Structure formats: C-alpha cells, structure tokens
Amino acid sequence: MNFEFSEEQNMLRDQARSFLADKCSLRNVREILDGDAPFDAEAWRGMIELGWTGTAIPEEYGGIGMGYLELCVIAEELGRSLAPTPFSSSVYLFAEAILTAGSEEQKKQYLPGIATGATIGTLAVFEGPHAPSPKNIKAKAANGLLSGEKMPVPDGDVADFAVVAANSDAGLSLYIVDLSDDSVTAQSIKTLDPTRSHAKINLSETPGELLGNEGDGWNILGQVFNAAAVLFAFEQVGGAQAALDMGKEYAMTRFAFGRPIATFQAIKHKLVDMYVATELARSNCYYGAWALDTHSTELPIAAATCRISATDAYHESSKENIQIHGGMGFTWEFDCHLFYRRSKLLSVNLGGEPRWKDMLISRLEQASA
C-alpha cells in the first residue's frame, strides 16, 4: 500500500508553498480584494515561470507532462493561499475541456498557449442564478455562430478563449470561442468573492469552433467537471486546513476569563470537528487524485465523493474560524472572511452540493446495478 504522495511530489509541495508564501500572501490577496485589478499579475507570472500551468499537459502539446498528482499538490497549495489568479479557469476547466474532447489540431492549437501562460482560457456554462441543464441553457448555436449571455463566467473578463455551452439543433454542444472577437462583450460583475474575478459575457453571432461531437456537450461537461471537481477539492482542502490553522493560532493567543480560549472545550471540540472533516476530505481527495491520475472508471464516483466531502469540510472550517475569532472575525480587516467567501464560491462553481449528492447516488446506483 502506497496511498500517499511521493517524496518528489512533497518536494514540489514545499516549493509551491514557499513560493506562494512569498509571492502570494494574504496581503497580496487583500490587494485584489480591495483594488481594481482582476488578478495578481505578478503571482500569475511566477506560477507560469515555475511551469505550473503546464503541469498535467502532455509534452507534445507544450506542457511539462508531469501529471495529475503533481497538479493536485499545486491545487492544494493554491487553495491554502487563496491565490487570486486565473489558474483554475485556464488549467482545470479550459485545458481539461480541450484534453477531454478536442481534436488533435485543437489540442495542438490551444494547449501550448495555456501551458506557457501566453493565453488564458475559461469555461462558460452558467446563465444566471439557477442550475444549468441541457434544456434550460438558452445560448444558441447555428451555422458556427453563437449568441447568448453567459454569467458568471470565471475570469471571463481576462480570458482569451472560452469553451462555451450552447444549444444547437442537435442539442447541447460545446464551442471554442475567441473572446477578442468584436462580437463579444465581457463585463466584470460584482460577486461574493472579489478575490476571483467573474464576468458577464455577451455573444452575438460570434464564431465558435465545435469542440467534440455536436449534441454531446452535456456529456463532455460531465467529464470535465469530474476532473475539475478533484482539482477544486484539493483547493478546498487546502483552504479548510488554512482556516483551521488560523482558528487554532487565534485560540491559543486570545485570552478570556483569564485564560486562552483554546482551553475552553467548546472551542477545542470545534477545532477537532474542523480537523476531522478536513482529514476525511483529504483522504477522499487522495482517492480522487488516484482515480484522475489512473483514468480509473471509478472517477465519476471518486470525484463526487471528494467534492462533497471537501465542500463540507471547507464550509465547516471557514465558518467556525469566524466564530472562534468573535467580533474580530466579522470584520473586513481580519482575513477570516476571505476563506468564508472562497469556500462558498468553490462549493457552487461546478454546481451546488445537492446536485452533486444526487449525482453521487445515481452513479452508485448504476455501479450496483
């Protein structure tokens, strides 16, 4: 049994952690929170230089072809640091969509730019405050031209390309769209988590290049979301651990009734519950990482399992971290809310937990049939 990350992978983790501590501390995150920049350009450049964007992209498409386990390691550290960069949109969503359904030419055309950081990609599925379905997606595609409104689109205001879900005569399909086309407007929108930028994108007769088979869009999205769920789950676990560490640190130093609040059981046991949830999620994430890395047929189940578990852990840990901080935790000035915001963003970005729980049970029903 070797259900662990290897020594090399742990070295990569150390390297990632120290890079992020240096170039992407919570101070940097707050600059994005309070400023106008959509992301931290310097941290982003640094990640590109370290080759992170090409971690799991095969060498033939310009990546460094390390693999998914390495990408998971990086994702956990990105989650811990709350990195305000378009990494996930470009790497977990756009690149995964191209890798999953792209033709050989499309892979050759789009992946090198992602790997080298020359371009930023994203995925445009949602159309407002409701769960998307193959039926209710209103964006239309006809004769290779797309029209419709997508929001929120993660990093839609900074991305060069997007994979867009739209309905054609054949049903829901995916298209690669060049967002610099004149027919496209992208407008930043205010969201719960200003440390990650989102946009409203309007397409009007915009040229789109079919990705995968026409009518196969929902199915491809399912596969992309499975891979992305594992990677985001690592971000969630990283964030949950960071919130737990922060709560612990504060509890040790804050005094009330003449003693550290960490001596009160209500606080100790709360921290233990955060720890237990985070450890269970971490273990499920390892399962997800293994399934992703080995292209296992268990991936759909593993992905849902680690996503649900990590969503719960991050929610628990980030909300109770605020509670442990008392009034301080409710201030803009303290960092607790950064984790709380991010935890909510990550719990809905691939669809909400009720839907994932339902999908998990459906997948288990299929597996047991």
Q: Which residues bind other proteins (CB under 8 A)?
A: 1-6, 69, 248, 251-252, 259-260, 262-263, 265, 268-269, 271-273, 275-276, 279-281, 283-284, 286-287, 289-290, 293-294, 304-305, 308-309, 312, 354, 356-358, 360-361, 364-365, 368
Least Cβ distance, residue 273 to other proteins (angstroms): 8
Residue with smaller CB distance to other proteins, 167 or 278: 278
Residue 121: half-sphere exposure toward Cβ, Cα within 13 Å:
27
Q: Position 259: which residue type?
A: R
Least Cβ distance, residue 353 to other proteins (angstroms): 9
- Three-class SS state of 201: strand
Q: Position 193: which residue type?
A: D
Name every residue whose Cβ is closer than 8 Å to that of residue 306 and which is 6 or more positions away in sequence: 229, 230, 233, 281, 284, 285, 287, 288
Distances in Å between the Cα of 198 and the Cα atoms of 17, 107, 154 are 26, 25, 4
Least Cβ distance, residue 92 to other proteins (angstroms): 19
Q: Position 50: which residue type?
A: L
Locate 201 and state its tokens.
């994108």
Number of neighbours of residue 58 by Cβ within 10 angstroms: 15
Burial class (CB in 10 A: 0-12, 13-18, 19+), 339: buried
Least Cβ distance, residue 208 to other proteins (angstroms): 36
Least Cβ distance, residue 188 to other proteins (angstroms): 35
Ramachandran category for residue 62: left, alpha or beta (phi over 0 → left; psi -120 to 50 → alpha): left
Residue with smaller CB distance to other proteins, 153 or 233: 233
Locate 242 and state its tokens.
């960071």
Least Cβ distance, residue 263 to other proteins (angstroms): 5
How far apart (Å, rounded) are the C-alpha atoms in residues 201 and 187? 6
Least Cβ distance, residue 262 to other proteins (angstroms): 5
Residue with smaller CB distance to other proteins, 118 or 276: 276
Residue with smaller CB distance to other proteins, 45 or 269: 269
Residue with smaller CB distance to other proteins, 167 or 305: 305
Least Cβ distance, residue 290 to other proteins (angstroms): 5
How far apart (Å, rounded) are the C-alpha atoms in residues 164 and 94? 10
Backbone angles phi, psi at 51, to 5 degrees: 85, 10
Residue with smaller CB distance to other proteins, 166 or 251: 251
Residue with smaller CB distance to other proteins, 189 or 364: 364
Residue with smaller CB distance to other proteins, 27 or 259: 259
